[in-house]
């Protein structure tokens, strides 16, 4: 999922004011999902109107077997996402995705056919979609297949959004913090994931600050929930010196203190900037 600049800016603003940033992410998820849904419905009208069959073959022909979509898109229409396919098959090459999509569509078709008559007794579900004065009506089985595809897409969008939000926000967040604190540009290394040439390997790190003597301090950012055990552990894996987190449990704080790692909590904090400056002063990093 691609975050627009204004979403990132609003998220950073909320983080720096101690507010909960999650509303921005959920709003963005819904916006992307609704855009997909509208386009999907338009495509359904076109596919249904150009089909000579009344069974699910029109769906398979247009959404699963068609070259109009990428393998990842066909998988979504078949009720699978790329991550799930990778977990099942250990890979997600083009052919593996296409085969998995076809197999899952056949499975769903058979499943729907088996219980369709039973569930349809006394139940009438007909989705009517109109576009450019053309209307199509989906049967119960067709409606269930479309709903399943929409659910799959929503899960994919949501998973991608929450897994990538940190990487989208961390650099502008720390850039803004350093700007507000008056850290000179020459004391900032914001090249994300740069490698240390003096080491045979260097763990990924979000940001680096340089003190008055040229010493590098590594900063890790995690926007995860309170008490998540990975929060404090991430700083060890990356040899971090400063940890910036949305929330931290008391146990996390105790662990970081014991390891000599400075930390900055953002949520519900009215003193974010002053707390950050305190850390900078303690580490001899120039600021205003």
Percentages (nearest 5) of helix, strand, coil residues in the chain = 55, 10, 35
Residue 114: both structure tokens together? 């088996």
Q: How many CB atoms lie within 10 A of CB 171?
A: 17
Q: For 189-242, how does the pLDDT look when each residue is reduced to its tens digit (9 = 90+)?
A: 987 554 455 544 344 566 899 999 999 999 988 886 554 555 556 555 467 899
What is the pLDDT at residue 283? 96
| Cα distances (angstroms) measured from residue 122 to each of 92, 125, 143, 148 | 42, 10, 16, 22
Pick from 116-125, 148-157, 161-170, 206-215: least confident: 116-125
Please check whether the domain covering 182-282 is classified as CATH 3.40.50.970.
no
DSSP symbols for 113-156: HHHHHHHHTT----EEEEETTEEEEE-HHHHHHHHHHHHHHHHH
What is the pLDDT at residue 222? 86
Q: How many CB atoms lie within 10 A of CB 152?
A: 19
Q: How many CB atoms lie within 10 A of CB 38?
A: 11
Q: For 49-107, how does the pLDDT look when each residue is reduced to its tens digit (9 = 90+)?
A: 887 666 788 899 999 998 889 999 999 999 999 989 999 999 999 999 999 999 999 99
CA distance 274 to 52: 69
Q: pTM for the complete prediction? A: 0.76
Residue 279 has pLDDT above 80, yes or no: yes
In the chain, CATH 3.40.1350.10 sits at 182-282
């Amino acid at each position: 999922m691609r975050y627009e600049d204004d979403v990132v800016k609003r998220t950073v603003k909320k983080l720096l004011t101690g507010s909960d940033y999650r509303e921005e992410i959920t709003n963005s998820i819904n916006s992307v999902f609704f855009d997909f849904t509208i386009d999907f419905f338009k495509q359904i009208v076109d596919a249904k109107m150009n089909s000579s069959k009344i069974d699910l073959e029109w769906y398979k022909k247009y959404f699963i077997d068609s070259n109009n979509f990428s393998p990842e898109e066909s998988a979504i229409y078949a009720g699978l996402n790329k991550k799930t396919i990778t977990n099942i098959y250990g890979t997600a090459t083009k052919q593996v995705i296409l085969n998995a999509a076809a197999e899952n569509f056949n499975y769903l078709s058979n499943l729907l056919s088996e219980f369709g008559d039973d569930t349809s007794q006394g139940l009438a579900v007909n989705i009517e979609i109109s576009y450019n004065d053309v209307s199509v009506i989906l049967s119960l089985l067709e409606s269930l297949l479309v709903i399943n595809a929409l659910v799959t897409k929503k899960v994919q969008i949501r998973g991608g959004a929450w897994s990538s939000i940190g990487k989208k926000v961390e650099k502008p967040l720390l850039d803004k913090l350093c700007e507000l604190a008056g850290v000179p540009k020459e004391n900032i290394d914001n090249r994300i994931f740069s490698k240390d040439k003096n080491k045979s390997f260097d763990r990924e790190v979000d940001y680096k600050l340089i003190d008055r003597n040229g010493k590098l301090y590594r900063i890790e950012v995690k926007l995860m929930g309170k008490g998540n055990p990975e929060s404090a552990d991430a700083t060890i894996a990356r040899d971090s010196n400063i940890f910036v987190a949305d929330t931290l449990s008391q146990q996390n704080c105790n662990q970081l203190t014991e390891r000599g790692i400075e930390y900055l909590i953002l949520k519900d904090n009215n003193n974010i900037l002053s707390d950050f400056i305190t850390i900078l002063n303690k580490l001899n990093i120039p600021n205003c």
